[in-house]
Amino acid sequence: MTDPELDMPRMTLPEHLDELRRRILLSVIAIVIGMVASFFFYKQLWDFIRVPFDDAVVAATGELKSVTAIDPGEGFLQVLKLCFITGIVFVSPIVLWQLWGFIAAGLYSHERRYVRIFFPVSMVLFVMGLVVAYMLLIPFGMRFLIGWNEALDIETDFRMSAYLSTCLTMLFGMGLIFQLPLVMLFLQASGIVARKTFIAGWRWAVVLAFVVGMVLTDPSPVTQLVMAIPVVGLYFLGIWGGRFAGENAETFRWWKAWPVVLALLGFAAMLVYRDELNELAVDMFGVEEERPPKEAPEEPGGDG
């Protein structure tokens, strides 16, 4: 039987630092290229990112409104910010591959195979997180907040920088949160954290899910709830995956994948019935009082 120590990587500390510097440099170059390429489509990107806002405004007020730019350079700077984040998203496969490659350099060969499995799965989960944020979190939050202000007869001007920051925080945050089951599976497979530890801490995980929802989303309880529910589901999915990783791993059989199938069905149902869920959330958390109709302004130069 081969001694695992003989298979251990023999890189020295300077070699590790050189490896880290090389991978960081490649990631930075990829991000710059992605940002420059995104800038050529800045108008299409801005139209795309404001679709949830437009839909929420029309649903709540019946008319289309625009976001505002307070400072002269705000529009340009926010577009650069949008292009920068978009560039990161598009080149994220390269960045994640560099990250996984650096981690794999310190693993045994029998552990490195997890990297080849985790990488494509991590990309799928990242995209799923973006879809949930774009199609559920942002529309739900905008609809709730705009509807709340309208019900209280409050005129709201949405600043471009505030709206864009909210959208990007939700998108990027949800993409990272969807990596949770992979991180948990990696920790269990490598023996760093035992599966029973995750099982024992599920109550804390539920509490932290709602804390994360409060930190990463807007103030509305709708988006906090919509973010917390997938986080809890991902946590339990990570616990399930731990059954097939580590020293006492069970043999995987296709019929044991029912939690994954159930999670995918729930994900699809949330997307298909997002409008109905949105209406239900507004009815549950929104302001029910009807505001009095606004009086039309008097025409200048009238009788008097």
Phi, psi for 79 (deg, rounded to 5): -65, -40
pLDDT for residue 124 is more than 70: yes
Contacts of 121 (CB under 8 A, 6+ apart): 182
SS3 115: helix
What is the rounded average pLDDT for all residues in the chain?
Answer: 77
Domain span including residue 117 = 12-285
290 domain residue, yes or no: no
**pTM, two decimal places:** 0.76
* The total number of structural domains that make up the chain: 1
Answer yes or no: is 296 within a domain.
no
Q: Is position 179 within any domain?
A: yes
Query: What confidence tens digit (pLDDT) does each residue in 226-265 have?
Result: 778 888 888 888 888 888 776 777 777 777 778 888 888 8
Say whether 287 sits in a helix, a strand or coil.
coil
pLDDT single digits (tens) 44-101: 988 888 888 887 777 767 777 777 888 788 888 888 888 888 888 888 788 877 877 7
- Report if residue 292 sits inside a domain: no
Domain presence at residue 21: yes
The answer to whether the beta carbons of residues 229 and 178 sit under 8 Å apart is: no
Whether the predicted pLDDT of 287 surpasses 60:
no
Say if 1 falls within a structural domain. no
